[in-house]
C-alpha cells in the first residue's frame, strides 16, 4: 500500500454531519486525496464527497515509480484501518471552492445541499463587499467602455480570495465578508490607475499542507505569488514575488498587449499560464503556454501554440507564415486532470482574426483543444474545431472534464463549448470524438488573397445550442421600432448560413463573436450526466475593407458601428425573434438537449425574451443551477431536472461572472457568492459589489 502525491496530506478534521451541512451534531470526517494501491489496483481517494474509484495502474505510473512502485508507506498498517479511513472518505464533504471551476477539471459542481429545491425561495442576502472600483474605464483594445467585474472567487480554509479589475487581490472572511488583507500591484505607481477584466486567482498548497500561495497574472504581463495568509509577495518567487511574463515572448513588441485575464492552472508544483495577445495585427507576442515552478518562479516548460520547424503541426502553416505570429493563445481558463497528469488548453484563433491571406493553411494549433503532459508540456493530442479561422471563433470556454456512460462503461471525456453553439465531446485520453463529427463543405470567401478552408467540422450530436442561420421571417417583432430597424439592417446584409466569411459587402454572420457559449462555459452534474450551458443568440455584422498598401493586413473588418458590430438594434436588443439568451441542459450520455429555457428578462418588454449574457453556471446536489450572467441585474436558481426557475434575487448590477458556493466553517451555513459589477460589452447599471446569499437563521 503506497501513497501517491495528492494536493494535501491525509488528515482528520471535524465538521457537521451530511453533505449539506446544517445544524446537526458534529462528527469526525476524514479528508483525504491521493492514490492507494490496494490489491494491485490504484484506488483514487477524493476529499469531495465522491466514493473512491479503482483502476489498474497505468504504464506511465509504473515506469515513473507510481502506483505501488514507490517505497514510502502509510503509517497505518492494518487493512481494517485503511478500510475505516476509506469509509470515512466516501462520506466526507468539501466545505470549500478551491479552484475557479470548483475542481481542477472545471465541473463547477458542489455536493452541498443545505440550499435545495424546497427552500431556495427563502434565500436572502447575507453580506455585500464593495471593492471601491465603481468608476473604472475600460481599455480601448478590449472594446469595453467600462471594465467588467468578472472575478470568480475561491475559498480555502474559511478565507475567500478574489481579484478586481484593477488587478488587486482581496482576502475576506468567507462568512462575514470582512476584509483580511489586500494586495495592490499598482501601489506607488504614478499616472492614472488602469483597469481591465480579470476572472480570478489560483491557489497552491504544499504537499504537507503548511504553505499556501495565491498565484495570478496581471494585465501588464506579470505573474505574482502571494502568501495566502498575509497577502505579501513571496520574495523567493521570481524577483521579489514577480515573474515578468513578457520576457522571452514580447521583447520585440514592447507596446503590444500581453495580459493575463484568467487564473492560471495549478498542477503539483507548477503554475501554468497563457495570456491575451493582440487580435490585430498578425505579428506580435506569441501565444505560447508556459509552466513555472510555483516556489522559485523558474521556467519549467514551454508549449509552442504555433509549432516551430520539426514540431507536430508545423506543416499546417504556409511557408514562413508561422514566424512572429500572434494569437493562437490561451486567454481563457485551462483545466487539469490531476489523476492522469493532463492539462487541457482551449486555444484561440490566429491573428489577424478576420483575414488569413497571410496565413494560408489550417493554422495549428489555433482553434484547438490541446491535451498536454502537465509535468513536461509535451503534446498528447489535439483536436481542431475550426480550420483557418476568419470569424474570431476561438475556443473561449474552460474545458469541462466529464464522464460519459455508454454500454455499461464510464468513459473519461472532455466537453469543449464554442462560440458556434457546438458542444464537442471527446475522449479525454485520445481526443477522439465520442459522437460523430462530419466535415461539411462551407462557403468560399470573396476577399482577394483569402483562402477559406473548404470544410468545417459539424458535430452530429449534441445538436447546436443556438441558431446558425437567419431568415427574414425571424426578424424581431418585440416592438414596431425594433422591427423596422432590424428589417432595414437585415436587407442591407449578405447572409449565407453557418461559416459565411465576412465579405467585401456588409455580411451577417450567425452566430457572432458573442454568440454560443463564450467564456461562460458550463457546469456538470455527474449523477444525471447533465451539462448546463448558457448561450447567446447574437449575430455579428461587418465587411472586409481594403487597407493602405503599408498596413499590416490587406483587409480589415469594419462597419459604421466599428470592427465588432452586433446584429442588434439601438437598444442592444438582438434583431432576431426571442429567445435572445437561453439556459440549456445537455445529456452527455445521449448527446441530447434535455431542456432549454429563456434566460433573463427585458423589463421594458412584456414578452419572454431571455437576454444576452456573460457569466457561468454552477450546479449543486441540492438540485439547483445558479447563474447571474444576464443584463437585467438579477441572480437566479433553476431546477436542475426541469429548468424551472425557482428563485430570483436582485443585484446591484448585472453579474457578468460565475458564482461559487461553500459551507461556512463556523456558522454551518451554505453561502452562494457572485460578483455584480455590470460593465463590459453591455449597457446598464455599474457597481462594485461582491454579494453573498444564504438561508436566514
Residues 91 and 13: their CA atoms lie apart, in Å, by: 13
Residues 541 and 559: their CA atoms lie apart, in Å, by: 7
Among the listed residues 245, 253, 312, the one whose alpha carbon sits nearest the alpha carbon of residue 283: 253
**What is the distance of C-alpha 603 from the center of its chain?**
29
Rg of the chain over all Cα atoms, to the nearest angstrom: 24
Among the listed residues 266, 416, 253, the one whose alpha carbon sits nearest the alpha carbon of residue 327: 253
Q: Give the contacts of 542 (CB within 8 A, at least 6 positions apart).
A: 354, 502, 506, 507, 509, 557, 558, 559, 563, 564, 565
Q: What share of the chain is helix, strand, coil (3-state, %, to 5)?
A: 5, 35, 60
Among the listed residues 215, 261, 266, the one whose alpha carbon sits nearest the alpha carbon of residue 105: 266
Q: Which of 103, 142, 337, 392 is catalytic?
A: 392
Q: Confirm if 595 and 587 have CB atoms less than 8 A apart.
A: no
Q: CA-based diameter of the chain, in Å?
A: 78
Q: Confirm if 240 and 185 have CB atoms less than 8 A apart.
A: no
| DSSP helix/strand/coil, 409 | strand
318: annotated active-site residue: no
- What are the CA-CA distances from residue 458 to residues 103, 256, 370, 423, 538 (Å)? 30, 35, 19, 10, 19
Backbone angles phi, psi at 658, to 5 degrees: -105, 135
Q: Which residue has the cell 436588443?
A: 573
Residues 93 and 29: their CA atoms lie apart, in Å, by: 8
Residues 130 and 182: their CA atoms lie apart, in Å, by: 13
In terms of C-beta density within 10 A (0-12 exposed, 13-18 middle, 19 or more buried), how is residue 250 classed? buried
Query: Catalytic amino acids?
Result: 392
Amino acid at each position: 500500500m503506497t501513497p501517491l502525491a495528492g494536493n494535501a496530506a491525509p488528515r482528520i478534521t471535524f465538521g457537521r454531519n451530511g453533505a449539506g451541512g446544517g445544524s446537526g451534531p458534529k462528527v469526525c470526517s476524514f479528508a483525504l486525496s491521493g492514490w492507494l494501491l490496494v490489491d494491485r489496483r490504484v484506488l483514487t481517494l477524493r476529499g469531495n464527497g465522491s466514493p473512491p474509484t479503482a483502476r489498474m495502474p497505468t504504464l506511465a505510473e509504473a515506469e515513473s515509480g507510481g502506483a505501488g512502485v514507490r517505497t514510502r508507506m502509510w503509517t497505518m498498517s492494518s487493512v481494517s484501518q485503511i478500510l475505516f479511513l476509506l469509509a470515512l472518505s466516501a462520506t466526507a464533504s468539501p466545505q470549500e471552492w478551491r479552484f475557479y471551476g470548483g475542481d481542477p477539471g472545471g465541473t463547477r459542481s458542489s455536493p452541498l445541499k443545505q440550499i435545495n429545491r424546497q427552500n431556495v425561495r427563502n434565500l436572502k442576502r447575507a453580506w455585500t463587499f464593495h471593492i471601491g472600483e465603481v468608476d473604472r474605464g475600460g481599455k480601448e483594445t478590449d472594446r469595453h467602455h467600462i471594465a467588467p467585474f468578472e472575478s470568480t472567487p475561491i475559498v480555502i480554509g474559511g478565507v475567500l480570495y478574489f481579484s478586481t479589475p484593477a488587478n488587486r487581490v482581496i482576502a475576506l472572511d468567507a462568512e462575514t465578508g470582512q476584509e483580511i488583507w489586500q494586495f495592490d500591484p499598482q501601489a506607488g505607481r504614478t499616472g492614472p490607475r488602469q483597469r481591465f477584466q480579470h476572472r480570478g486567482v489560483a491557489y497552491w498548497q504544499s504537499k504537507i499542507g503548511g504553505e499556501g500561495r495565491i498565484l495570478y497574472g496581471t494585465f501588464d504581463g506579470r505573474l505574482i505569488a502571494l502568501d495566502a495568509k498575509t497577502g505579501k509577495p513571496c520574495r523567493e518567487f521570481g524577483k521579489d514575488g514577480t515573474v515578468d511574463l513578457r520576457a522571452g515572448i514580447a521583447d520585440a513588441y514592447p507596446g503590444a498587449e500581453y495580459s493575463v485575464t484568467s487564473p492560471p492552472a495549478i498542477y503539483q508544483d507548477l503554475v501554468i499560464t497563457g495570456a491575451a495577445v493582440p487580435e490585430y495585427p498578425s505579428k506580435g507576442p506569441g501565444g505560447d503556454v508556459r509552466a513555472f515552478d510555483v516556489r522559485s518562479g523558474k521556467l519549467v516548460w514551454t508549449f509552442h501554440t504555433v509549432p516551430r520547424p520539426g514540431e507536430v503541426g508545423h506543416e499546417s502553416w504556409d511557408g514562413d507564415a508561422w514566424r512572429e505570429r500572434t494569437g493562437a493563445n490561451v486567454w481563457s481558463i485551462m483545466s487539469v486532470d490531476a489523476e492522469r497528469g493532463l492539462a487541457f488548453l482551449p486555444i484561440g484563433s490566429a491573428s489577424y482574426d478576420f483575414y488569413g491571406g497571410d496565413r494560408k493553411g489550417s493554422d495549428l494549433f489555433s482553434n484547438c483543444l490541446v491535451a498536454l503532459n502537465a509535468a513536461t508540456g509535451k503534446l498528447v493530442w489535439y483536436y481542431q474545431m475550426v480550420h483557418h479561422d476568419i470569424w474570431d471563433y476561438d475556443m473561449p470556454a474552460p474545458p469541462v472534464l466529464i464522464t460519459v456512460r455508454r454500454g455499461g462503461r464510464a468513459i473519461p471525456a472532455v466537453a469543449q463549448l464554442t462560440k458556434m453553439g457546438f458542444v464537442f465531446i471527446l475522449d479525454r485520453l485520445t481526443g477522439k470524438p465520442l459522437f460523430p463529427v462530419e466535415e461539411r463543405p462551407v462557403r468560399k470567401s470573396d476577399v482577394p488573397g483569402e483562402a477559406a478552408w473548404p470544410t468545417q467540422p459539424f458535430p452530429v450530436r449534441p445538436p447546436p445550442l443556438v441558431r446558425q442561420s437567419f431568415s427574414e421571417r425571424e426578424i424581431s417583432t418585440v416592438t414596431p421600432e425594433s422591427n423596422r430597424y432590424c428589417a432595414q439592417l437585415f436587407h442591407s446584409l449578405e447572409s449565407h448560413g453557418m461559416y459565411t466569411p465576412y465579405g467585401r459587402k456588409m455580411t451577417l454572420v450567425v452566430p457572432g463573436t458573442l454568440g454560443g457559449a463564450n467564456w461562460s462555459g458550463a457546469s456538470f452534474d455527474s449523477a444525471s450526466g447533465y451539462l448546463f450551458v448558457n448561450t447567446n443568440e447574437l449575430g455579428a455584422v461587418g465587411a472586409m475593407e481594403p487597407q493602405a498598401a503599408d498596413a499590416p493586413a490587406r483587409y480589415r473588418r469594419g462597419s459604421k458601428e466599428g470592427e465588432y458590430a452586433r446584429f442588434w438594434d439601438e437598444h442592444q436588443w438582438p434583431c432576431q425573434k426571442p429567445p435572445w439568451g437561453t439556459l440549456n441542459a445537455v445529456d452527455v450520455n445521449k448527446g441530447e438537449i434535455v431542456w432549454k429555457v429563456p434566460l433573463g428578462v427585458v423589463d421594458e418588454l412584456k414578452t419572454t425574451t431571455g437576454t444576452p449574457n456573460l457569466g457561468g453556471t454552477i450546479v449543486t446536489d441540492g438540485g439547483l443551477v445558479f447563474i447571474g450572467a444576464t443584463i437585467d441585474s438579477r441572480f437566479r436558481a433553476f431546477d436542475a431536472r426541469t429548468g424551472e426557475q425557482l428563485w430570483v434575487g436582485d443585484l446591484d448590477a448585472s453579474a457578468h461572472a460565475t458564482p461559487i458556493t461553500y459551507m461556512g466553517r463556523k456558522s454551518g451555513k451554505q453561502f452562494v457568492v457572485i460578483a455584480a459589477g455590470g460593465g463590459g460589452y453591455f449597457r446598464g447599471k455599474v457597481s462594485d459589489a461582491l454579494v453573498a446569499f444564504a438561508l436566514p437563521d
